[in-house]
Amino acid sequence: MKLPTVIAIDGPAASGKSTLGERLAKHLHFLYFDTGLMYRAVTWCALMNGIAIDDELQVSDLAERIQIDVQAPTVDDGRINDVFLNGRDISWEVRQPEVDANVSQVSTYVRVRTAMTIQQRRIGERGNVVMVGRDIGTVVMPDAGLKIYLTASVMERARRRYEETRARGQPANLEQIMRSMKRRDAIDSSRMIAPLKPAPDAIVIDSDDYSIDEVVMLAIDYYRNTCNNSEC
Ligand code: DC
């Protein structure tokens, strides 16, 4: 039996997909690749260059021009991927609240998505990778050997994001986080191109029902038992 070499994990913000992806990658000695970082890099770059986020043409031109590299972390400061923009390390800049607030809008632009999808496939096609995002199982790597769609209630996800932010010593407001999360969910799920939804052959896990350790165990079980599509 040939085990999957590409694992796609999709789901809404703060559903636990990054933690799952990171732990699964570590367990399997695969690369962990958070594809949302690419949309974040474009957003950060647009903000830095004074480009209006609703100026689709300029944001798209920018996305096609810049070189974004996402790779295994080389600095031990809590990051789970390095992000480089034209060679500059922006691994923490892409986590700024201003990026959070604008990245969903940027990710609706068709030319931005096309540019990012090409870059993501290039890395995915090398194999031995756990890719985390919104459209990995549906669009970017539709032949992935294992697809997991991880979800959780908006209340639970907002609570997690609140705890994470506070743990980093930053101020956080639960109500505000919940409002912003609902807004992002709505944009991510209703966009015309590559909306957030489970692939028909994805395993859907609701993480409200499980601890993160249980989710990781479940995913490892599915990985060992999955061999039913074109990659196997
Ligand atoms: O996972 P995240 O919060 O870092 O993602 C940031 C944004 O990028 C989010 O609004 C959805 C979008 N995204 C996407 O559209 N497709 C992906 N494969 C990954 C992220």
Cα(38) to ligand 1 centroid in Å equals 8
Residue identifier of the C-alpha nearest atom 3 of ligand 1? 13
Q: What is the pLDDT along the chain (232 residues), one digit of tens a residue?
A: 577 899 999 999 889 999 999 999 999 999 999 999 999 999 999 999 999 999 999 999 999 999 999 999 999 998 889 999 999 999 999 999 899 889 999 999 999 999 999 999 999 999 999 999 999 999 999 999 999 999 999 999 999 999 988 998 888 999 999 998 999 899 889 988 889 999 999 999 999 989 999 999 999 999 988 754 444 4
Q: Among 40, 35, 59, 57, which Cα is nearest to 49's?
A: 59
Q: What is the pLDDT of residue 227?
A: 55
Cα separation, 165 vs 55, in Å, equals 30
Cα(36) to ligand 1 centroid in Å equals 4
Q: Which residues line ligand 1 (CB under 6 A)?
A: 13, 35-36, 39-40, 103-104, 107, 133-136, 184, 188
Structure token pair of residue 147: 């697809």
The residues, ordered by sequence, that sit 6+ positions from 19 with a Cβ below 8 Å of its Cβ are 212
Q: What is the pLDDT of residue 1?
A: 58
120 and 131 Cβ atoms separated by less than 8 Å: yes
Which atom, in ligand 1's list, is nearest to the CA of 40? Answer: 6
Query: Under CATH, what is the fold of the domain 34-126?
Result: Rossmann fold (3.40.50)
Give 68's strand partners: 85
Same fold across 1-30+128-227 and 34-126: yes
Residue identifier of the C-alpha nearest atom 20 of ligand 1? 36
Q: What is the pLDDT of residue 232?
A: 44
Q: What is the bridge-based pairing of β-strands 129-133 and 203-206? A: unpaired
The domain locations on the chain are 1-30+128-227, 34-126
Query: Under CATH, what is the fold of the domain 1-30+128-227?
Result: Rossmann fold (3.40.50)
Cα(2) to ligand 1 centroid in Å equals 30
Give the number of other Cβ atoms within 10 Å of residue 213's Cβ. 9
85: left (phi over 0), alpha (psi -120 to 50) or beta: beta
